[in-house]
Amino acid sequence: MKRGLPVLLAIITVALMVIAWFQSGAVGRREMRSASTPDQAVRLMLSQIQAHNFDAAYARLANRSDVERTNFIRDFNGSFGSLLTYASLESFDVWGLRTEDPH
Amino acid sequence: MTSGAFAPKTRTEDREATVRAKLHYTTGVGPLDDVRDLKLQRTGETWKVYWPVNNATKLPPQVIPVNYLRWDVISRGSSDDWGVQNVDSPQVRILSMNAIQRPDSVVLVGEVVNEDSVPAYVNVGATLLGPNDKELAQESSFDKIAHTLLPKQVSPYRIDFPDMRLDKIKNVRMDAKALLVAASADPVIEVNQQKLETDPLGKKVLSGQLTNQSGQIVNIPHVIAAYYDSNGKVVWVSDGYVAQALLPQVPVPFAVDLPPDVAKNVQTYRVVVNHYDNAS
């Protein structure tokens, strides 16, 4: 009983932590970070934009050499005192339209 | 953050994809939505976004003369005698009012005109009266009107009464308040390529382009559209803020939506562009 109760409490604590980890959406976040599907790649980029992590979002572009970083950020943050400069990205919806093999 | 109802399955040999993203922004004037179709490329096991390159028109340095009318106001000052009359308030008149029952509200739409020869800051309000002239609700047009009206200028207006039914209303008392303000006819914003169409999300919209004809930047453009039926009656008024600033001579697209059941009866429409500047 002396050793049994602490062991039991430790097991219950670990189990509750694992449940909380799953319920917090950590599995979904891990999958999203892998960007292994088009939806996940766009959601990851937009969630980085939402967190104002513009460098990480810019790094997710396939054509970084053609797009200036300041122009990319301005597309989300606005410029010249526009309404977008006073706005914040609250949420986003993403859905795939099509995928194809160009060859 | 939510995902769409359906996403096509990605096959292992697919190397390109198109994804639609709808971004929801919160602003001080309400929600703002932006829909973008994004192309992606697969590099190894990872998909990356192919961002559209912004080829914005660059204007050469130039001088743009401003020849438009402008009005300044000198009001009564503290050194004037107490009985000195101030400048008269401008005369405005409500041209039309149409009460429409919507699924969850009553909407009053119409037009107001500045009949005076001086500019006016206008606000239109309405009080709904039930049996025995009992006041049911009172609302104003808020930002669904072009508040600053130059002489003889007409603006549409819309007043929403949420959770109201037309059959409860016996009378409507309209109230157009006008204040004398300084104003200018500049900047002039051109509206062209207007058309009623269905957007990629299936909504009926009036779309077009705005072009700032002046030499100063318009920070926050606000589009107000009035829709008329075959008898010339105003059947709907919708408005929307444009997320981008209007640089001189650079066209910017806009779109304002209207209910599909209203769109069926629309014969003509008219767009008025209001604007708010950071300096004012």
Token pair of B104, please? 């969850």
Q: Which among B30, B168, B176, B171 has a CA at the least distance from the CA of B101?
A: B168
Strands (E), chain B: 2-3, 16-27, 30-43, 46-50, 70-71, 92-102, 105-114, 120-129, 135-140, 148-149, 154-162, 171-180, 183-184, 189-198, 204-212, 220-228, 234-241, 252-257, 268-276
B23 touches chain A (CB under 8 A): yes
B150 vs A29, higher pLDDT: B150
Q: Which region holds residue B94: left if phi is over 0, alpha if psi is between -120 and 50, else beta?
A: beta
- pLDDT at site B277: 82
Name B224's bridge partners. Answer: B239, B272
Indicate the residue of A42, A96, A101 with minimum beta-carbon distance to B13: A101
ipTM: 0.78
Positions of chain B with pLDDT lower than 50, given as ranges: 1-6, 280
Burial string for B128-153 (b: 16+ CB within 10 Å, else e) reads: bbeeeeeebbebbbbbbbbbbbbbeb
Q: For residue A29, is pLDDT > 70?
A: no
What residues contact B241, with CB distance under 8 A and at least 6 apart?
Answer: A83, B27, B29, B30, B32, B220, B221, B222, B223
- B275 vs chain A: nearest CA distance in angstroms? 11
Could you tell me if B163 and B212 are in contact, meaning their C-beta atoms sit under 8 angstroms apart? no
**If residue B199 lies in a helix (H) or strand (E), which one and from where to where?**
none
- pLDDT at site B2: 38
Instruction: Tell me the C-alpha distance between B206 and B200, whole Å.
Output: 13
- A51 vs chain B: nearest CA distance in angstroms? 13
Q: Which among B3, B230, B253 has a CA at the least distance from the CA of A41?
A: B3
**If residue A100 lies in a helix (H) or strand (E), which one and from where to where?**
strand A88-100
Half-sphere exposure of B158 (CA within 13 A, CB side): 21
Burial string for B247-279 (b: 16+ CB within 10 Å, else e) reads: bbebbbebbbbbeeebbeebeebebbbbbeeee
Indicate the residue of B5, B7, B23 with minimum beta-carbon distance to A39: B7
Tokens 């919806």 identify what position? A93
pTM: 0.81
Could you tell me if B145 and B123 are in contact, meaning their C-beta atoms sit under 8 angstroms apart? yes
- pLDDT at site B3: 39
Instruction: Tell me the C-alpha distance between B48 and B40, whole Å.
Output: 5
Asked whether the CA dihedral B258, B274, A74, A86 is positive or negative, the reply is: negative
Q: CA dihedral in degrees (B165, B31, A83, A51; nearest 10)?
A: 170
- pLDDT at site B129: 95
Q: What is the total residue count of chain A?
A: 103
Could you tell me if B171 and B99 are in contact, meaning their C-beta atoms sit under 8 angstroms apart? no
The DSSP letter of residue B215 is S
In A, minimum Cα distance to B39 occurs at A38
Helices A26-34 and A38-50: crossing angle in degrees, nearest 10, is 110
- pLDDT at site B10: 55
B16 touches chain A (CB under 8 A): yes
A26 vs B119, higher pLDDT: B119
- pLDDT at site B55: 65
Over the stretch A66-102, which tens digit does the pLDDT of each residue have? 999 998 999 999 889 999 999 999 999 998 887 776 5
- pLDDT at site B88: 80
- pLDDT at site A27: 61
Could you tell me if A94 and B19 are in contact, meaning their C-beta atoms sit under 8 angstroms apart? yes
- pLDDT at site B215: 87
Name residues 24-83 of chain A within 8 A of B (Cβ): 34-43, 45-47, 60-63, 66-67, 71-72, 75, 78-83
Name B180's bridge partners. Answer: B120
Amino acid symbol at B203: K
